């Protein structure tokens, strides 16, 4: 896999894009030795582009002499702030994961509430006595529908618990 850097000819400054991630459609971004992680977002790239509006820029692939020369001689854009950007990126990922988990837990609570409501409705239906055979058929259909809904809901809850 190839790594890339973006180089501004006018300022003799670069930012490391690293490799391109096809799944996210983004470059891995700058790398922090402190956190042993990439930014995994385009914040440094965006700032680099804004800081160099109107300048001639080139994308340089790794494994070339020019890549090595630029790394050794040119200035690295926002080099002192990379650790901060990676830290913010990691914090954002943790927040997103915590948010996803809380959404799942809320959904699970909603399913248990739905189960309770369906059981309560089923109990109410079974206590009603039909005055005509047609009404009896309607009540039977509602009862069977509620039982089927409970069956499907409990099956989904069992699958959810099996996956965890």
Domain definitions of the chain by residue range: 4-77, 101-163
Is the model's pLDDT at 162 over the cut of 70?
no
Mean pLDDT score, 86-96: 91
How many CB atoms lie under 10 A from the CB of residue 102? 10
pLDDT digits (tens, 9 = 90+) for 22-36: 888 889 988 888 888
CA–CA gap between residue 1 and residue 63 (Å, rounded): 11
The confidence score (pLDDT) of residue 25 equals: 85
Q: What is the dihedral of CA 17, 74, 67, 2, to 10 degrees?
A: -10
């Amino acid at each position: 896999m190839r790594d890339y850097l973006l180089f501004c000819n006018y300022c003799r400054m670069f930012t490391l894009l690293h490799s391109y991630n096809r799944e996210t459609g983004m470059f891995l971004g700058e790398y922090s030795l402190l956190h042993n992680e990439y930014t995994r977002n385009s914040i440094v790239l965006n700032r680099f582009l804004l800081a160099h509006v109107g300048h001639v820029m080139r994308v340089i692939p790794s494994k070339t002499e020019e890549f090595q020369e630029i790394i050794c001689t040119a200035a690295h854009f926002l080099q002192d702030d990379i650790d901060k950007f990676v830290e913010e990126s990691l914090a954002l990922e943790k927040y997103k994961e915590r948010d996803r988990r809380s959404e799942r837990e809320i959904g699970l609570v909603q399913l248990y509430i739905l189960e309770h409501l369906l059981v309560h409705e089923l109990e109410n239906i079974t206590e009603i006595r039909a005055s005509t055979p047609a009404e009896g058929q309607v009540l039977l259909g509602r009862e069977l529908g509620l039982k089927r809904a409970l069956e499907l809901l409990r099956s989904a809850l069992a699958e959810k618990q099996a996956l965890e």
